[in-house]
Structure 1
Amino acid sequence: MQAAPKVQLDFVDALRGIAIIGVLISHAQRNVEIYQAMGREALMSPWLSRYAAQGARGVQLFFVVSALTLFLSARKRSAEATPWLNFYLRRFFRIAPMFYLAFAVYCLAPAVLKGHDVPPPGTVLGTLSFTNGWNPTWLLGANDVVPGGWSIGVEMSFYIVFPLVFLALHNFPRTLAALVLLLVVDVVTWTPLLGHPPIADAQLWQRFVFIWLPNQLPIFLFGIGAYFVLFEQAGRLTSFFRNGDRLHNGCWFMLAVAILMIAPQWIDDPRAVFLYGAAFAILALSLYRQSYRWLVNAPLRHIGKISFSGYLTHFAMLQVARKVLGKLHADTHLSPDIYFLATVLLALGGTVLVSTVTYRFVEVPGQALGKRIILALEARRASPASAGSVSQ
Structure 2
Amino acid sequence: MQAKPRLQLDFIDALRGLAIIAVLVSHAQRNVEIYQAMGHPATMSPWLSRYAEQGARGVQLFFVVSALTLFLSAGKRLGESGEWLNFYIRRLFRIAPMFYVAFGVYCLAPFILKGHELPTPGTILSTLTFTNGWSPAWLLGANDVVPGGWSIGMEMSFYIVFPLVFLLVKDLPRAWVALLLFLLLDVFLGPVLVANPPIADADLWERFVFVWLPNQLPIFLFGICAYFVLFGESGVLTRFFHAGDRRMNAALFVAACAVLLTVPQVIQDSRAVYLYGGAFALIALCLNRQPYRWLVNPLVCHVGKISFSGYLVHFFMLQVARKVLDKVHAGSRLGPDAYFIATVVVALAGTVILATLTYRLVEVPGQALGKRLIQSLASRREAGRQQLENEAG
When the two structures are superposed, what TM-score results if normalisation uses the length of structure 2? Answer: 0.98
AA in 2 matched with 1:41: P
Partner of 1:338: 338
AA in 2 matched with 1:152: I
Alignment deviations for residues 68-123 of structure 1 (CA, whole Å, 9 cap, x no partner): 00000000001211110000000000000000000000000000110000000110
Partner of 1:281: 281
Partner of 1:73: 73
AA in 2 matched with 1:269: D
> 5 Å matches for 1:44-123?
44-123=44-123
Partner of 1:174: 174
Cα-Cα RMSD: 1.2
Residue 349 of structure 1 pairs with residue 349 of structure 2 = yes
8 Å contact 1:133–1:154 — kept in the other structure? yes
Alignment deviations for residues 196-241 of structure 1 (CA, whole Å, 9 cap, x no partner): 1011000000000000000000000000000000001263211211
Give me the whole-angstrom Cα distance separating, in 2, the residues matched to 1:30 and 1:303.
22
Give me the whole-angstrom Cα distance separating, in 2, the residues matched to 1:137 and 1:167.
33
8 Å contact 1:4–1:75 — kept in the other structure? no
Partner of 1:313: 313
Partner of 1:209: 209
Partner of 2:386: 386
Secondary structure in 2 aligned to 1:150? helix
Deviation at 1:385, TM superposition (A): 1.9
Secondary structure in 2 aligned to 1:187? helix
Give me the whole-angstrom Cα distance separating, in 2, the residues matched to 1:4 and 1:247.
24
8 Å contact 2:20–2:58 — kept in the other structure? yes
AA in 1 matched with 2:175: T
Give me the whole-angstrom Cα distance separating, in 1, the residues matched to 2:106 and 2:212.
23
Residue 293 of structure 1 pairs with residue 296 of structure 2 = no
Secondary structure in 1 aligned to 2:43? coil
Deviation at 1:387, TM superposition (A): 2.8
After the TM superposition, which of the residue ranges 199-208 and 6-15 deviates more from structure 2?
Answer: 6-15
AA in 2 matched with 1:46: P
> 5 Å matches for 1:220-239?
220-233=220-233, 235-239=235-239
Partner of 1:191: 191
Alpha carbons of structure 1 residues 265 and 374: separation in structure 2 relative to 1, 3 Å: same
Give me the whole-angstrom Cα distance separating, in 2, the residues matched to 1:390 and 1:138.
52
Deviation at 1:6, TM superposition (A): 4.7
8 Å contact 1:22–1:55 — kept in the other structure? yes
Alignment deviations for residues 305-340 of structure 1 (CA, whole Å, 9 cap, x no partner): 000000000000000000000010000000000000
Residue 377 of structure 1 pairs with residue 380 of structure 2 = no
Q: What is the percentage of aligned positions where both structures have the same residue?
A: 68
AA in 2 matched with 1:280: F
Partner of 2:263: 263
Partner of 1:329: 329
Moved segments of 4+, more than 6 Å: none
8 Å contact 1:17–1:305 — kept in the other structure? yes
Deviation at 1:5, TM superposition (A): 4.1
8 Å contact 1:330–1:339 — kept in the other structure? yes
8 Å contact 2:3–2:231 — kept in the other structure? no
8 Å contact 2:37–2:322 — kept in the other structure? yes
> 5 Å matches for 1:12-51?
12-51=12-51
Which structure 1 residue ranges, 5 or more long, are not aligned?
none
Secondary structure in 2 aligned to 1:355? helix
Give me the whole-angstrom Cα distance separating, in 2, the residues matched to 1:367 and 1:4.
26
Give me the whole-angstrom Cα distance separating, in 1, the residues matched to 2:92 and 2:191.
35
8 Å contact 1:4–1:76 — kept in the other structure? no
Secondary structure in 2 aligned to 1:35? coil
Partner of 1:361: 361
Secondary structure in 2 aligned to 1:75? helix
Give me the whole-angstrom Cα distance separating, in 1, the residues matched to 2:336 and 2:258.
27
8 Å contact 1:3–1:77 — kept in the other structure? no
After the TM superposition, which of the residue ranges 239-248 and 256-265 deviates more from structure 2?
Answer: 239-248
Which structure 2 residue ranges, 5 or more long, are not aligned?
none
When the two structures are superposed, what TM-score results if normalisation uses the length of structure 1? Answer: 0.98
Alignment deviations for residues 314-373 of structure 1 (CA, whole Å, 9 cap, x no partner): 000000000000010000000000000000000000000000000001000000000000
Give me the whole-angstrom Cα distance separating, in 2, the residues matched to 1:67 and 1:53.
24
Alignment deviations for residues 151-207 of structure 1 (CA, whole Å, 9 cap, x no partner): 001000000000000000000000000100100000001111011101100000000
Alpha carbons of structure 1 residues 304 and 339: separation in structure 2 relative to 1, 3 Å: same
Partner of 1:247: 247
Give me the whole-angstrom Cα distance separating, in 1, the residues matched to 2:45 and 2:148.
26
8 Å contact 1:4–1:72 — kept in the other structure? no
